[in-house]
Amino acid sequence: MLKVALVVQRCGLEVNGGAEFHCLKIAQRMSKYWDVEILTTCALDYLTWENFYPPGTTEIAGVKTRRFQLDRLRNLEEFAELSQIISYRFLESSLEEEEKWMKAQGPFSSDLLVYLWQQKDNYDAFIFFTYLYATTYFGLPLVADKAYLVPLAHDEWCIYLSLWKGFFALPQGFMFNTQQEKFFLETLFPHIHWSGYVAGLALEKPPLVTQGFANYGSFLLYIGRIDTSKGCQELFNNFLAYKEKVNSPQKLILLGKAQMPIPKHQDVIYLGFVDEQTKWSALTYCDLLIMPSPYESLSLVLLEAWQMSKGVLVNGECEVLVQQCRRSNAGLWYSSQQEFIYLLESIPQATWNQLGKQGNTFVEENYQWDQIEQKYLKLLSSTKAL
């Protein structure tokens, strides 16, 4: 049996993040075939990288997990200043400057890096989740001849930094979330041999839901981190403009950890980070799901909405989300506040329901665990057990 380490910046049942959830689900599924261990840091909060969990070995959702302390907190002012400088002149920035930015971005754990270097021979393979963070950028080169990458890449300014030109040549193979992600990377880095598969994730059967959300009446639903980088400020602006223009009883319900102020309005309801039962209940009773993020490599929340036969409305600036809607014929997209209002005002609920049904068929046909597991097995098929 192969011994495989999955490396990710954070991991915990309290962690609200797509890459972290992705890593944990793959670890759980592939434990049937491999001796799996997650290597991660002690951080819970992605803004500060404060050491929250104790270092050492634990078990998360049945998966052995090894946490390492971080060297320092993220200096938010320093990081914001470096990001501003680099983002405006990334075509001229040096590798030294970009790596300084990467260290400031974090999370940086010298204990994790030392462990990777010293224990490399005790693992058959290392799968790193998300290209963006210091755990991947500084960790993957230490085990490059055994390393694989799940990039979770999308069109954002930092992927245009020159440091990625050499980095992406290091992994032995890749696992992409969508065909659009693969095409984007192939176009941006044509010198790289992007060998691998398109897999994404499958979904678990939802639990029996409660009727708690039936009392809210008609509502739109947002699930995820409530952050400006996720398009939430635009969502608030659009929704409040919609309420001002249209005499609609619809509310906006928000599920997730807030990293920004939420408007005080009787029809904007913030419920915070909730358990799975509550999430699925909200999906059952909502009119539709809204995904305002301009940057996504794959939206699992869209798949979950479609699993519950709900239509979705997404940000037209995000090509990945638009293509998910096109492929599934299960969602619409907006490119302005006027379009946002028009679609909510003009599209009858029966049409949204039909889109949701088409989404359900799409998920059933394209996101099955047995297919995904076989792709991960193929990815590591040339790897020999110790």
CATH number at residue 49: 3.40.50.2000
Q: In this predicted structure, which of 239-248, 297-306, 324-333 has the lowest mean pLDDT? A: 297-306
255, 297: one domain:
yes
**Claim to verify: residue 325 and residue 252 sit in the same structural domain:** yes
Is residue 37 included in any domain, yes or no? yes
User: Do 118 and 220 sit in the same domain of this protein?
Assistant: no
Q: In terms of domains, do 289 and 193 share one?
A: no
pLDDT at position 201:
86
Q: Is the pLDDT of residue 216 over 70?
A: yes
Q: Quote the domain boundaries for residue 332.
A: 212-366
Residue 177 is given by DSSP the state S
The pLDDT assigned to 386 comes to 74
Mean pLDDT of 132-138: 97
Mean pLDDT (whole number) for 203-229: 86
- 158 and 178 part of one domain: yes
Residue 296 backbone dihedrals phi, psi, to 5 degrees: -145, 145
Asked whether residue 383 is domain-assigned, the answer is no
Q: Is the pLDDT of residue 81 over 70?
A: yes
- Lowest-confidence pick of 64-78, 97-111, 207-221, 300-314: 207-221
Given 168, 200, 232, the domain boundary residue is: 200
User: Between residues 295 and 91, which one has the greater pLDDT?
Assistant: 295
As a whole-number percent, the residues of the chain with pLDDT over 70 amount to 100
Q: Is residue 145 part of a domain?
A: yes
Same-domain check for residues 228 and 183? no
Same domain (yes/no): 283, 356: yes
Query: Does pLDDT of 297 surpass 70?
Result: no
| 233 and 273 fall within a common domain | yes
Please check the confidence at residue 210 and state whether its pLDDT lies above 80: no
Strands 288-291 and 268-272: unpaired
Q: Are residues 354 and 221 in the same domain?
A: yes
In a domain, 325, yes or no: yes
Q: For the chain, what percent of residues have pLDDT higher than 90?
A: 79
- Tell me the C-alpha distance between 284 and 214, whole Å: 9
Same domain, 180 and 246: no
- The contacts of residue 57 (CB under 8 Å, 6+ apart) are 64, 65, 66, 67
Q: Which of 200, 233, 254 is the last residue of a domain?
A: 200
Q: Provide the pLDDT for residue 368.
A: 86
Strand partners, 41: 68
Same domain? 170 vs 291 = no
* Phi, psi dihedrals of residue 300, rounded to the nearest 5°: -65, -30
Nearest to 58 by CA among 40, 46, 44, 45: 40
Mean pLDDT along residues 10-23:
88
Instruction: Return phi, psi of residue 6, to 5°.
Output: -105, 125
Please check the confidence at residue 143 and state whether its pLDDT lies above 90: yes
How far, in Å, CA of 110 to CA of 69, rounded?
A: 8
Q: Which two tokens stand for residue 109?
A: 């754990």
pLDDT tens-digit series, residues 167-206: 999 999 999 988 888 999 999 999 999 999 999 888 777 7
For residue 12, being part of any structural domain is answered with yes
How high is the mean pLDDT of the chain? 93
Q: Please tell me whether residues 188 and 225 are part of one structural domain.
A: no
Nearest to 226 by CA among 244, 265, 188, 253: 253
Residues 6+ apart with CB under 8 A from 252: 219, 220, 221, 222, 235, 239, 267, 268, 269, 290
Q: What is the separation of C-alpha 163 from the centre of its chain, rounded to a whole number of angstroms?
A: 22
Query: Of 166, 200, 234, which marks where a domain is finished?
Result: 200
Residue 330 forms part of a structural domain: yes
Position 92 in a domain: no
Note whether residue 111 is domain-resident: yes
Work out the pLDDT band at 91, boundaries 50, 70, 90: confident
Q: Minimum mean pLDDT among 7-11, 77-81, 110-114: which range?
A: 77-81
- Quick check: 369 pLDDT over 70? yes
Give the count of domains, the chain: 2
